[in-house]
Structure formats: structure tokens, C-alpha cells
Amino acid sequence: MNSRSVSLFGFIFVLLTLTPHAGLLIGKKARAEARPKHSPGFNNRVEKVSIIVQQIGPDDSNLRSELQARGGSELRSFSALGFHVLNLPESAVAAISDRTDVAYVSPNRETQLLGHLSATTGADLVRVTSGTNVSGVDGTGIGIAILDSGMYANHVSFLDRNNGNRIARSLDFTGENRVDDPYGHGSIVASIAAGNGRVASGSYLGIAPNARLFNLRVLNSEGRGTVAGVLEALNWVALNAQAFNIRVVNMSLGMPAIDSYLNDPICLSVRRLVDSGIVVVAAAGNNGKDVEGNKVYGQIHSPGIEPSAITVGASNTFGTDSRTDDQVASYSSRGPTRSRWTDNSGITHYDNIIKPDLVAPGNKLVFAKSPGNFLVSENPTLDASVSAVDVRDMMSLSGSSMAAPVAAGAAALLLQANPSLTPNLVKTILEYTAQPLPGFNYLEQGAGEINIEGAVRLARLVRPDRASLALGDSLLTGTPSTYSNISGNTFNWSSIILTKYTSLSGISLITQYQQIYSLGVLIADGVLIADGVLIADGVLIGDGVLIADGVLIADGGVFLPYGVLIADGVLIADGVLIGDGVLIGDSGITADSFLLAYSAMNNGDLGGSPIEVDDGTDADY
């Protein structure tokens, strides 16, 4: 057997073979744990709080009656998602969460911003550009919904080839009753995803320059919003995606990752959209370092914690088209995810999923400026001063908020090249073709830096009759070379995909159809652990990624290819570490305690600053 095929799961299997009782106890304990059905922190006060109620089943008449009887008011319902938003006395939360038709109750938290492109990403190589006229794979026919602070609709970046406006619909979910962009963030995000490059002879060309845009304003004039506003926007997408061919959603925003993705209402909504065939891209966050500049792990924001989302961190190209000097931006949030739930015994369980999924250029990007916007008014250095005319002026921003729309635009290109792709296949292709950046581990860069040239090339080879394929069937119509050449630099693809806790590799991932590429499942669903024993789920995963005795039958790579694999323990399921048969626990992560070797620090809390507005001041150079 190839020695390189040993994976993290193989290491877990060996460890649990040596300490079987520990593994068996974990399996039994997990089944016995009861999960409270509301977020921590609710008190027994009579004051009303704004909450999100997740409903089970379609009939809500009885639930509505009790909510009203207990003093609930200002009820809003999102039928496509199964959520109710209302004000309710805090003392009534426990009773509501105990109902059999209620899955979970959480606060209506605040959401905030996190914060030569086409050449360095390889997008130029998949189309023909003559001056400012782009033909080929350019996003034509694909709708991208941008959940952000609005759009400056008059900017020339949003015109189509016939000078019509490509912003197909603008809706406000903030209560300010406006759809423009007084804050200044949404316009630059939208133009990164789909700007047409008409300013400065194509110098500021977006990734999918002919895609249709949907302006869903969920952040107000101060760059703030609520969970309820985001849910309302996602509900609108769910109800209207088919009519408008909205295939991609971009969310360059976030909130603290408190509730597990299993309970977080935005994460659950993202999962519903992905299960219906919509690609959802989320920014990882900008909390990759503390105030002293030290690396911090475990600061991925919601909804980037959702396994089905494509979570994107920021890379720094240092202003060059060459990819040889690219690095992960120091501020880009690192994994694993630290969202959590607490059982009835008071034990906290962390999700600890590998994120981000990949990185994309996000440092000092120059794109469409909304006139008189808050960000530039407060930070004049962000004004790129490209033009004295508002409809052609540009600004600069840095952050994972800028990296996410690069991936959203790339997803639109893949779906134009091959409309049969599922969200899981789009994610797989972007990860498999990514370029690993030397010196950075999976928790910093995911599978690597986005490679649009390779991704579109591979997407074109996927059989259009994908829906009729069975496990192990030939997936491609040809044999791709697994390397790319962008701006004169040749590099090998990562040739991996990430699951929740490890990576899978092998040519069978792209040459044979895997059931994990279907709708309604997670890529990670094919790898299971029960009572400490690994199970190969042959229904979901076929030849090349099957697990046998804890070892991948493939050209597998190690979990952290550019660092130490594990210090004294192995990460299992909800974050419990086992080292030499001793339960180490679940605490903070810093660079000094090293990645997944947890130190007993801060009683399980991670270091790092709170969510920051993406004002462009995080630039690395």
C-alpha cells in the first residue's frame, strides 16, 4: 500500500485500536447526549427579545397561537425556510423551545461586514477579451445574488454589452427603504464578482462580467444588519431562484460563530439553498491575527462555518500577476470552526470543521465606488481616484469580503460552462484545481488558492448527463492535465477535496462519479465514525476514496501538508482529543499551542478580536 495514502482517519483508527475503550465510550456518549433546543444565554426576564424560531413541519397554526398567547409580537414568517422572527418575553423562550414542533430558538443577532484580478486568477484564460469586449465564458445567463449593503446601479461596471443594466432586481431588507449603497461595500463586492471592466480599458475587470446581478440589501447605511434581514433575503432567493436562474449567492458578511451549524438559522438556510442546487459562497472573516499581529486560529465566522457553503479566505498577490509570490493574507480568518453546542450535562461540543475551503485574492482590490459612501468618507485613502466622474470612479478594499465574490464569480463561470453541475461538484472542482500555497496549512488556505483556468477546464469535461450517473460511472468526457499555467507560472493542482475533518485525494474523485456530488448530501457524508470504528460508505463514495481499515485507497495526502500533523492527540468528531489514552479536552487554539494540539487556555474560548467592519485597513502591504 502506498505510504502516502495514510490519512488523518487512518491515524485515528490506529489510535482507537490501541485505546478501544476510549473510542467506544465516545461513541456511546454521543448517542446519549441530549441537545438543548435554544441558544445559551437566554435568561428568565420578562423583557422582550428578538428571536428566531425554527419550525418543524408545515402546519404552524398551533405554534402561532402559543407565540401570541405568550406575548409574541411583530411576527414575520419565511415559508421557504421554515423560520419565524418575533419579539417574545425572554422568560417564554424555554417553553417555546420545548415544543415538539420547534427545532431550535436563537437570538436575532446582528450581522456585520467581514471584511490585475482577472489575470492572476486565470479568468482571462477561459475567454477572449478584445479591449473591453469579453466573449466566451463570462457568466452569461447566470444570476448572482449579492447579500450586502446595496449597489450603486448607475456605475458603468454594471452595464451589459448593449448598455442595459445587469442589476436585474434590487430589494431592501434593512427597513431603510433604499437599495443604493450609502455604506460603499456592496458595490465593490458586486463589481469584483461581475464588473464589466469598462473603466481604464479593462484594468478593473470582474470575474463574471456578463452575469446578472441581484441586489439584496441586508446591511444598512452603517454596514449593519440582523439575522432576520438575512433570512428574509435568503427566503426570497429560495422562492425566486428558479424564475431568475439564480445559481450563486454571495455573502461577504458574517456574525460571531456561536451556535453550531446544526442550529444556526443562517447556516440551516444556506443548507436548504445548496440542497436545492444553489451555490452559496461565504467570507471566512478577517480575524486571523490578534492586536499584536500574532496568528490566531478558530475565528471563522457564520455562515462560513456551514459545511455546504464555499468558505473563502483572502490571499495576497502583492500586486503582481505572477502567483509565485502569493501568500495567505495575515488577517484572513483561520479554522477550525469553533461554533458549538452544550449538552444537558453542561459539556460544550465544538464543531471543529476544517475551514476555509480555499483562498482567493482579497488584498487591496480596486473596483466600483459608490459616490459619497461611508467607508471612503471615513477612510479617504480607500479612494482610488480613478475618475472624477462618479459613474466611473473606483475604490480599494481588502479582506475576505473581497475574496468571496472572486469565488462567486468563478462559480458562475463553471455553471455557464456546464449547467449540469451541482453545488457539491462546483465546490469539488474549485478545491481539486486549487493551487496549494507553500508554507500554509489547510486551516489557513483550505485546498489552496483559486485557479479559474483549471476549474473551468475541468468543469467542461464533466458529463452533461450527470443526473443519470451511478456510483463509479465515468464522470468525465476526457482526461484533464492536473496542472495549470497562469501568467507564465506552471503549478500542480491540489488534487484534494476537504471533508469535515480531513482531506480526500486521488484521481477517482474526478474520473468516477461519487454520490456525494448529488443534491441533498454533504461531501463529508461519505466518511462516518461509529463507536470509534471507521465505516466505508460505499453508497456515497466509490473507488479511490473508500476507507479500508482506516486507510484511504488513493494517492492520499496528510492532513496538514505544510506543518506538523498532530502534536499529542487526534481531533475526533466534536473536538475531543485523545493522547496516550488521556482526555485532553477542548480549549483554545493559538500558533504557539499549534493548530489541533489544544492547550488549556481561556476555558475553551479562543483569542482574537470581535467582528470588524471591512474598512480596508487590514491590507497587508
Report the alpha-carbon distance of residue 407 to residue 398 in Å, rounded: 15
- Could you tell me if 195 and 167 are in contact, meaning their C-beta atoms sit under 8 angstroms apart? no
Q: What are the DSSP calls for 43-69, one per residue?
A: ---SSEEEEEEEE-SS--HHHHHHHHH
577 phi/psi in degrees, rounded to 5:
-105, 140
At residue 411, the 3 state secondary structure works out as helix
- Could you tell me if 315 and 328 are in contact, meaning their C-beta atoms sit under 8 angstroms apart? yes
CA atoms within 13 A on the CB side of 14: 11
Give all strands (DSSP E) within 97-223, no chain letters: 102-107, 110-113, 127-130, 133-136, 143-148, 167-172, 212-217
Residue 298 has which C-alpha cell? 478558530
Task: Name the amino acid, one letter, at 369.
Answer: K
- Could you tell me if 110 and 607 are in contact, meaning their C-beta atoms sit under 8 angstroms apart? no
The answer to whether 518 is a known catalytic residue is no
Report the alpha-carbon distance of residue 608 to residue 590 in Å, rounded: 10
Q: Partners of 214 in the beta sheet?
A: 145, 169
At residue 474, the 3 state secondary structure works out as strand
Q: Residue 310 burial by CB count (10 A; 0-12/13-18/19+): exposed, middle or buried? A: buried
Task: Give the number of other Cβ atoms within 10 Å of residue 379's Cβ.
Answer: 16
Residue 433 has which C-alpha cell? 484545481
Q: Partners of 283 in the beta sheet?
A: 312
Pairing status of strand 279-283 against strand 246-251: parallel
Q: Considering 38, 84, 155, 185, which one is annotated as catalytic? A: 185
Q: Considering 401, 503, 508, 587, which one is annotated as catalytic? A: 401
- Could you tell me if 374 and 180 are in contact, meaning their C-beta atoms sit under 8 angstroms apart? no
Q: Considering 138, 148, 393, 618, which one is annotated as catalytic? A: 148
Q: What is the dihedral of CA 273, 279, 280, 283, to 10 degrees?
A: 170
Q: Partners of 348 in the beta sheet?
A: 342
Report the alpha-carbon distance of residue 330 to residue 316 in Å, rounded: 9
Q: Residue 2 burial by CB count (10 A; 0-12/13-18/19+): exposed, middle or buried? A: exposed
- Could you tell me if 131 and 290 are in contact, meaning their C-beta atoms sit under 8 angstroms apart? no
The answer to whether 84 is a known catalytic residue is no
- Could you tell me if 164 and 156 are in contact, meaning their C-beta atoms sit under 8 angstroms apart? no
> Catalytic residue numbers?
148, 185, 401
